[in-house]
Amino acid sequence: MKKNSISSILLLIVTLLALSTSTLLGVEGVYAEVVSGNGVTVNYVIPFGGSALGLSGGGVTVHDVKGQPVIGISTGDIPGPDGPITATVIFGWGPMWSLVPIVIEEGVPEGTVPLTIARDGNNILITWNNGLYGDNISLFYLPGDGTGIYTNTPDPWQAVDGNFTLQLAQGRITHNNQVGAGLTEVYYKALQPGYTRTSLNSDNVNVLSTAWSVGKFNVNIEGQAANAGKNLMSIPFISQAGTTVASVFGTGTPWQEGDIINSKNSADPTYLSAIYRNGSWASTVSGNAPDFIFTPEYAFEIVTRANKIFTSVGEVPRDPISIAVWGMSSPPDGKTLLGMAYPRNFQLSDSTLIANGASNGDIIQYKVSALAPAYISAVVVNSQWRDASSGQAILPVEIGTLRPSLGYVYATKGGGFTWQRSPNY
């Protein structure tokens, strides 16, 4: 085993060629090595079986995940105090020793970079841990028209361009003039150094298609001084800042004195409400900070007396979501405010509502205007969705296509059920 320290780059090659496979095969144990250079010391452990072990030291932790492909080779994206470190590891288990790449963060898809998103004044701020991934990552974005176009298919994704301010050395980029303005929906992904749009991972799957995403969605909110608008909406993201009213909605622009948020995300018929007073949100009951939360599966109502645009931000949900739909056994009327959970539109007729328990007579409603109580509705008849007004199987587009950022009222005469949803990206 050789150790080489170079002034700017530490190259660690653990080679097992000098050891005969007859010595190692069938043996449970580890081979330990300490490697140091550029101000970083790594206690390196090569497991020949057993549970996962890590490489750690000098503030650097690199994981070896047993029994599954691990994340791509680190090439200069683990910086040391005096320069970047490149670590290549050769080891394996079986008759042939094979190259097993390094894990930067356990659980993060191979070759990808997890991002964080936030509103920053008029701009969208995207950040990442450049201490782990460096400043030579590749960033992509997916613009949309507000109909809910999110996809993991690589082709529509574009490399970041002149609409962004790049501060790569600080681990941040800014998408300018995108809060309350700009593109209606936008999503963001990133790849580690050395990976491109066409790179495949160890399972022969496109790396960009597996990258986690964050996004923003602009929502038009209606209101008039003489006629308070009641806007039914939802947020198709998991908030990275938290699930409280202040975390999800923020303060300052676009909110105005007297704006109200009404939430109902349980069988209890009582709405929980927060009002905007003196630059912050307060419970309409206690006057203290509201203690209810917001999640993608349920909708809510915003009451306002002025038109505005709210920009929601967060992480694109990746996992299946279970949504409780309350029935008549949940007094007084079995109504559920359904959020759309994911930033992709879908057809009501293709939904799993009926398969999961929607029964004849169940109704789903779209609120036509925030300024009037009119609804467009679909009803279940003989286990099929039909236009509640005409009885036809062809549904009006407003209720036939369910869209992210909107909310829908669901009423069932049954005892309720659980709507199982999965991302369809």
391-402 pLDDT per residue, tens: 999 999 999 999
CB within 8 Å of 18: residues ≥ 6 apart = 1
Residue range 326-355: mean pLDDT, rounded: 86
3-class secondary structure, 379: strand
Confidence band for 71, pLDDT divided at 50, 70 and 90: very low
φ/ψ bin of 22: left (φ > 0), alpha (ψ from -120 to 50), beta (otherwise):
alpha
Residue 235 predicted with pLDDT over 60 = yes
pLDDT at position 145, please? 96
The least confident of 85-94, 178-187, 257-266, 325-334 is 85-94
Residue 7 predicted with pLDDT over 80 = no
CB within 8 Å of 409: residues ≥ 6 apart = 232, 335, 336, 337, 338, 364, 365, 367, 375
Q: What is the mean pLDDT of the chain?
A: 80
- Amino acid residing at 118: A
Interior angle at CA 105, CA 101 and CA 106, nearest 5: 80
Of 86, 102, 73, 109, which is closest to residue 40 (Cα–Cα)? 86
Query: What's the pLDDT tens digit per position in 212-232?
Result: 999 999 999 999 999 999 999
The sheet carrying 116-120 orders its strands as 116-120, 123-127, 172-175, 164-167
Of 171, 176, 240, which is closest to residue 212 (Cα–Cα)? 240
Residue range 326-334: mean pLDDT, rounded: 65
pLDDT at position 332, please? 52
Residue range 128-136: mean pLDDT, rounded: 89
Residue 366 predicted with pLDDT over 60 = yes
pLDDT, greater one: 134 or 81:
134
Residue 89 predicted with pLDDT over 80 = no
Output the six-digit token pair for 269: 């018929």
Confidence band for 424, pLDDT divided at 50, 70 and 90: confident
Distances 202 to 71, 90, 191 between C-alpha atoms, Å: 9, 15, 15
pTM: 0.78
If you search the block for the tokens 């409400």, which residue do you land on?
A: 273
Residue 78 predicted with pLDDT over 60 = no
Output the six-digit token pair for 343: 């930033």
